[in-house]
Amino acid sequence: MATNRRNFISNIFAGGIGAAAFNLPGCKNAPGDGNKEAELLKSRYDQLDAVLAKPVFKHELFPDPVIIQSLELLKFERSFLCRIRSKDGAEGISVAHGDMRLLYPIFVKSLQPFFIGQDARRLDALMEKAYIYNLNYRCKGYALGIPVATIEFAILDMMGKIAGKPMGELIGTIHHTHIPLYQATEFREKPIEESMELIKNAVYESKAEAVKIKVGALMFMTKDLDAKGPANRTEQIIPLVRKTLGDQMALYADANGYYGVEEAISVGKLLAEYKYKFFEEPVQYDWLERTKQVKDAIPIPIAGGEQQHGIEEFRWYMAHDGIDIVQPNQYYFGGMLRSTKVARMAELMGKICTPHLSDGFGYIYMMHFMSTVPNAGPHIEFKGYAGIPIECKTSSLKLENGKIKVPTGPGSGVDIDPDFIKKHKLVEA
């Protein structure tokens, strides 16, 4: 099983990263060899911490201070925008995750005051301090991550416009100009036959060359305390999707933490039998050790990180070889800078970064982030387009031959319709 996983990773990294992968031996030591295991773990942590200590934002691109004069949250119907302006008149704008409708008090009361008057060139420090200021860490998780990320995206848009560079060039080196995507599907609550028709339609419309399906039962959007979903649905749909879409289609599966360890191992082995590429969140996201138990017992890679709240959880996963593929969500996790630190740790350990995607406009930020990740997976998640009126002069923003071209204009590289922006009104505390 370990050999299969190593072969998978080495195939992904055939372009060169594999040779630079983390050079420590595996965690499995002979009985009674506790000292060596402890030394190995310490060595890993030391190297991971050295990676985490490196700044992400390229402040050297900006010789003069960029003082934040205003930071606004704007709302129109279900849409939230963040607009930031500097004292010198530079402006940036970002699109918030839809759940800002639940979280806007954190934005306007706990974060907005902190950023006013700060020098945007110190973005690394600002992002760290934002989690501490006003005891904000008590809101840790996506409740804090979404507002923080929304602000960071607006700052990066503004700074990119000042420097004349896309967001990616502010946080790293561009490794990918086109991002290969897999079509995520969300039809777990529906009968098998209906699910298959919806999956086929989604693939046809997006022209994606890879697909992720859901396994397990629906755990949310229901008050039923005993909801289990259709009997044997997972056991039926895993082979059916493979048979329907063919051997050439890259397939992935996501349990959203539905299973216990033993069930997850059983499903993981079935996925391996039908040549699925990874198994995402087989158990609850915060079951770090139990996630590792599943990983060690099945022959396909384990992916996780969509719901992780902090750097420390990814640090543990990397040091203990707990997952194969890291999936920080740029909105939930608090932005691109924090996600870049996770990707760097994964690169050090010879692992893959395939971020989780949420909300329509999020794919714009995901593409800029992934353009800088050398250890990117073969396909990145895609759930649909922006859903708001935008224009991009440097990319069609459409899936073509399984890939989307990353915008190369300054900042986000995307212009939101000014008339649409004018419809938004200021959200106040």
Band of pLDDT at residue 13, cut at 50, 70 and 90: very low
Lowest mean pLDDT among 181-185, 277-281, 308-312: 181-185
With contact defined as beta carbons under 8 Å apart, do 174 and 374 qualify?
Answer: no
Alpha-carbon gap, residue 138 to 157, rounded angstroms? 28
Mean pLDDT for the stretch of residues 59-86: 97
pLDDT at 229 over 90: no
Band of pLDDT at residue 383, cut at 50, 70 and 90: confident
Mean pLDDT for the stretch of residues 236-242: 95
CA atoms within 13 A on the CB side of 375: 27
The type of residue at 319 is: A
Alpha-carbon gap, residue 211 to 184, rounded angstroms? 6
Mean pLDDT for the stretch of residues 78-97: 97
With contact defined as beta carbons under 8 Å apart, do 314 and 305 qualify?
Answer: yes
* pLDDT at site 44: 97
359-370 residue pLDDT tens: 778 999 999 999
pLDDT at 18 over 70: no
With contact defined as beta carbons under 8 Å apart, do 343 and 15 qualify?
Answer: no
pLDDT at 36 over 80: yes
163-181 residue pLDDT tens: 999 999 999 999 999 999 8
CA dihedral (143, 111, 146, 417) positive or negative:
positive
CA atoms within 13 A on the CB side of 41: 15
* pLDDT at site 140: 86
Share of the chain above pLDDT 70, in %: 90
Share of the chain above pLDDT 90, in %: 76
CA atoms within 13 A on the CB side of 108: 16
| 3 state DSSP class of 244 | helix
pLDDT at 263 over 60: yes
* pLDDT at site 374: 97
pLDDT at 14 over 80: no
Alpha-carbon gap, residue 142 to 332, rounded angstroms? 4
Band of pLDDT at residue 320, cut at 50, 70 and 90: very high
In the numeric block, which tokens belong to residue 369? 């982030």
Whole-angstrom CA distances from 353 to 77, 200, 320, 362 are: 34, 27, 17, 17
pLDDT at 30 over 60: no
* pLDDT at site 382: 81
